[in-house]
Structure 1
Amino acid sequence: MTQQRPTVIDRTGSDIHAELAALGRQGPVALIELPGAVKAWSVTGYEAALQVLGDPRFSKDPRKHWLAFRKGEIGEDFPLIGWVLMDNLTTAHGSDHSRLRRLTASAFTPRRVEAMRPVIEQATAELLDDLAAVAPGEAVDLKRRFAHPLPARVITDLFGVPEQERAELLRGGEVNVDTTTSPEEAAANVERWHQQMHDFVEHKRRAPGDDLTSDLIAAQEADGSRLSPSELVGTLHLMLATGTEPVMNLIGNAVHALLTHPDQLARVRKGEADWDDVIEETLRAEAPVAHLPFRFATEDVQVGGVTIRQGDPVLVAFAAIGRDAAVHGESAGRFDLSRQDKTHLSFGHGIYRCIGMPLARAELRIALPTLFGRFPDIELAVAPEEIRPQSTFIMNGLESLPVRLGPAGERG
Structure 2
Amino acid sequence: MESRCPYVLDTTGRDVHAEGERLREQGQIARVELPQGVMGWTVVGHELAMELLTDPRVSKNPRQHWPAYISGEIGQDWPLASWPAMENMTTAYGEDHTRLRRPVVKAFTPRRIRAMQPYIEKTVASLLDDLAATAPGEVVDLKKHFAYRLPASIICDLFGIPEEARAEVLRGGEVTTDSSITPEEAAANVQMWTKQFAQFIEAKRQFPGDDLTSDLIADTESGLTDSELIGTLFVALGAGSETVMNLITHAVFRLLTNPDQRAMVEDGRASWEDVIEETLRVESPLNMLPLRYAVEDIEVDGVTIPKGDPILMGYAAIGRDPNVHGETAAEWDITRSDKEHLSFGHGTHYCFGAPLARMEAMIALPALFNRFPDMAMAVSEDELEPQGTFIMNGYKTLPVVLSAPVGAHAAS
Q: TM-score interval w.r.t. the shorter chain?
A: over 0.9
**2-side partners of 1:182 and 1:316: how far apart?**
23
Matching residue of 1:45: 45
The amino acid of 1:22's aligned partner reads R
1:248 aligns with 2:256: no
**1-side partners of 2:107 and 2:127: how far apart?**
24
Matching residue of 1:280: 277
1:405 aligns with 2:402: yes
**2-side partners of 1:319 and 1:107: how far apart?**
29
Alignment equivalent of 1:375, drawn from 356, 359, 372: 372
Matching residue of 1:218: 218
Matching residue of 2:260: 263
Is residue 375–residue 407 contact of structure 1 (8 Å, CA) maintained in 2?
A: no
Partner SS, residue 400 of structure 2: strand
Is residue 3–residue 303 contact of structure 2 (8 Å, CA) maintained in 1?
A: no
Partner SS, residue 295 of structure 1: strand
**1-side partners of 2:128 and 2:15: how far apart?**
31
Is residue 51–residue 303 contact of structure 1 (8 Å, CA) maintained in 2?
A: no
Per-residue CA deviation, residues 23-52 of structure 1 (Å, 9 max, x unaligned), is 011100010001111000000000010011
1:329 aligns with 2:332: no
Deviation at 1:2, TM superposition (A): 8.7
Matching residue of 1:152: 152
**1-side partners of 2:301 and 2:360: how far apart?**
36
Matching residue of 1:85: 85
Per-residue CA deviation, residues 184-222 of structure 1 (Å, 9 max, x unaligned), is 101101100111111111111100001100000101xx3
Structure 1 stretch 61-70 or stretch 72-81: which is displaced more? 72-81
Partner SS, residue 333 of structure 2: coil
**TM-score (norm: length of structure 2):** 0.96
Per-residue CA deviation, residues 348-400 of structure 1 (Å, 9 max, x unaligned), is 00111000001000000000000001000111011121011101100001100
Per-residue CA deviation, residues 293-324 of structure 1 (Å, 9 max, x unaligned), is 00001011122222111101000000001100
Partner SS, residue 243 of structure 1: helix
Partner SS, residue 314 of structure 1: strand
Partner SS, residue 48 of structure 1: helix
The amino acid of 2:141's aligned partner reads D
Is residue 11–residue 180 contact of structure 1 (8 Å, CA) maintained in 2?
A: yes
Deviation at 1:3, TM superposition (A): 5.9
Is residue 142–residue 403 contact of structure 1 (8 Å, CA) maintained in 2?
A: yes
1:174 aligns with 2:174: yes
Matching residue of 2:11: 11
Structure 1 stretch 164-173 or stretch 3-12: which is displaced more? 3-12
Partner SS, residue 244 of structure 1: helix
Matching residue of 2:22: 22
Matching residue of 1:114: 114
Alignment equivalent of 2:388, drawn from 376, 387, 391: 391
Matching residue of 1:55: 55
**2-side partners of 1:285 and 1:263: how far apart?**
18
The amino acid of 1:282's aligned partner reads T
1:318 aligns with 2:315: yes
Identity in percent:
58
**TM-score (norm: length of structure 1):** 0.96
**Mapping for residues 96-111 of structure 1, pairs under 5 Å:** 96-111=96-111
1:233 aligns with 2:230: yes
Partner SS, residue 54 of structure 1: coil
Matching residue of 2:336: 339
Partner SS, residue 74 of structure 1: coil
**2-side partners of 1:318 and 1:349: how far apart?**
11
**1-side partners of 2:90 and 2:182: how far apart?**
22
**2-side partners of 1:305 and 1:264: how far apart?**
41
**1-side partners of 2:263 and 2:306: how far apart?**
49
Structure 1 stretch 232-241 or stretch 76-85: which is displaced more? 76-85
Matching residue of 2:409: none
Partner SS, residue 250 of structure 2: helix
Deviation at 1:73, TM superposition (A): 2.1
Per-residue CA deviation, residues 41-76 of structure 1 (Å, 9 max, x unaligned), is 000000010011011110000010012222232223
Unaligned ranges ≥5, structure 1: none
The amino acid of 2:330's aligned partner reads G
Matching residue of 2:65: 65
